[in-house]
Amino acid sequence: MPLWKIYHPEDAFTAEQKRALSQTITELYAPRLPRFYVGVVFQAVPADDFYLGGEPATNFVRIWVDHIARTLPNAEARTRWMNHVIAALTPHIGDRGFDWEFHIDETSFELWSINGMRPPAPDTEDEKRWKAENRPSPLTATVA
Amino acid sequence: MPLWKIYHPEDAFTAEQKRALSQTITELYAPRLPRFYVGVVFQAVPADDFYLGGEPATNFVRIWVDHIARTLPNAEARTRWMNHVIAALTPHIGDRGFDWEFHIDETSFELWSINGMRPPAPDTEDEKRWKAENRPSPLTATVA
Amino acid sequence: MPLWKIYHPEDAFTAEQKRALSQTITELYAPRLPRFYVGVVFQAVPADDFYLGGEPATNFVRIWVDHIARTLPNAEARTRWMNHVIAALTPHIGDRGFDWEFHIDETSFELWSINGMRPPAPDTEDEKRWKAENRPSPLTATVA
């Protein structure tokens, strides 16, 4: 459900650092969602393709995120979530000396599909099984 | 109007398969919209840039879509559309053995432009002409 | 805050043209926002990865934008903004003979972070300082 897209300078991350960051991101959601819901795409951007304020961005990591499976219900929940994400990501990015920015959009649960199925509603038996098995399987209940 | 972005493993699709998939996607909209509204961008993602649940995603196709020209008005329309999309895409992706996921966001009709024009409102004479000619042309009515 | 993603044919823009376009985009926001809020990512798309209406797009520039720091409050403001953007971008794209399309999404101010901080609210002293110094600095007021 969450899709993370990470634009970064070439050589900003080794393969091991990318994997570690993707695991940190996965852990943010793992208390509530199946791990396989969490997709992360890294993209190295050459300096002449990446601009901040009209100048080449050579030290900048720019992340955008779509949330689908859950919506943050109010300002307090959004603040708590943002602080949680910032704390988790800082060691991977800010503490390594990069400038960094991220933003999250929330999109429709009803316009989402995994392996040709519409994923189970939150906290249903189907979602619990998907989470426990960490893979999609045929649904026992119809998604409205 | 719809913009489709398709992240896929390297070598997942030949050029011919990409073209065929883009045509299948175009057909989803062709009953109502000009064909040239349908944009599709494929992007091969190397295994060390693509993670699912914190592990490298080597067999995964991840699609995100923005809808602009039309909004699905209610849950029934969304269900019908999702089933339609799933049926059309499955032969190109799921039946070939890939895991796959897609989600759709809906964005503002008023914040959209083609060739320096704001596209015609739904079902107007201007839109019908754009559809019939499959190209944008000067508008006869002002978009509000 | 605004993130601009520009898909374009290979060889559509030189590095100097990309920098000039990113500066034109930055100027659109500079009257109100810190210049460093404006991120632009260019991505060359090979012809066999880029389709419009099911056919390879060889002369097409496709832009999508996320707005975060400000929301356009009504239809008049959206029209004014769109006309402003179209006028600024046309010399860089349409006048050079490309077909082009762009759309803008508006996402939550509360789900946005720069350098581990939640950016200051519009027109606050903190935002004025960020703008004047063209860099983020510790906040004096808490973001709600």
Residue B144 pLDDT > 60: no
Report, as an integer, the average pLDDT of C30-57. 97
Q: Determine whether the interchain pair C3/A57 forms a contact, defined as Cβ–Cβ distance below 8 Å.
A: no
Place of tokens 């208390």: A31
* Predicted pLDDT of residue B25: 98
- Element housing A77 (H / E): helix A75-89
User: Which among C8, C22, C103, C135 is the top mutation candidate for probing chain A, defined by the most A β-carbons within 10 Å of its own β-carbon?
Assistant: C22
Q: In angstroms, what CA-CA distances link C83 with B13, B90, C93?
A: 39, 40, 15
Q: Identify which of A48, A49, A105 has the shortest CB distance to residue C105.
A: A105
Cβ atoms of residues A95 and A89 within 8 Å: no
Residue C143 pLDDT > 70: no
* Predicted pLDDT of residue A141: 80
User: Which among C43, C110, C114, C118 is the top mutation candidate for probing chain A, defined by the most A β-carbons within 10 Å of its own β-carbon?
Assistant: C110
- Nearest chain C CA: its distance from A9 CA (Å): 11
How many angstroms separate the CA atoms of A84 and A90, rounded? 10
Domain map (residue ranges) of chain C:
3-112, 118-144
Nearest to A77 by CA among A32, A116, A119, A39: A32
* Predicted pLDDT of residue C58: 95
CA C21 to chain centre: 10
Residue C144 pLDDT > 60: no
Nearest to C113 by CA among C76, C131, C139, C77: C139
CB contact burial C26-47 (16+ within 10 A = b; e otherwise): bebbbeebbbbbbbbbbbbbee
pLDDT tens across C62-110, in order? 999 999 989 999 999 999 999 999 999 999 999 999 999 999 999 999 9
Nearest to C86 by CA among C104, C102, C67, C105: C102
Q: Would you place residue A144 in the very low, low, confident or very high pLDDT band (cuts 50, 70, 90)?
A: low
Report, as an integer, the average pLDDT of A129-143. 91
Report, as an integer, the average pLDDT of A44-71. 97
In this structure, CATH architecture of domain A3-112: 2-Layer Sandwich (3.30)
Nearest to B66 by CA among B25, B104, B28, B30: B104
pLDDT tens across B79-125, in order? 999 999 999 999 999 999 999 999 999 999 999 999 999 999 999 99
Q: pLDDT exceeding 90 applies to what percent of chain C?
A: 96
Q: Quick one: closest CA in B to A35, which residue?
A: B53
pLDDT tens across B41-54, in order? 999 999 999 999 99
Query: Which ipTM did the prediction report?
Result: 0.96
* Predicted pLDDT of residue A143: 56
**CB-defined contacts A:C, below 8 A:** 102
Q: Identify which of C75, C82, C103 has the shortest CB distance to residue B66.
A: C103
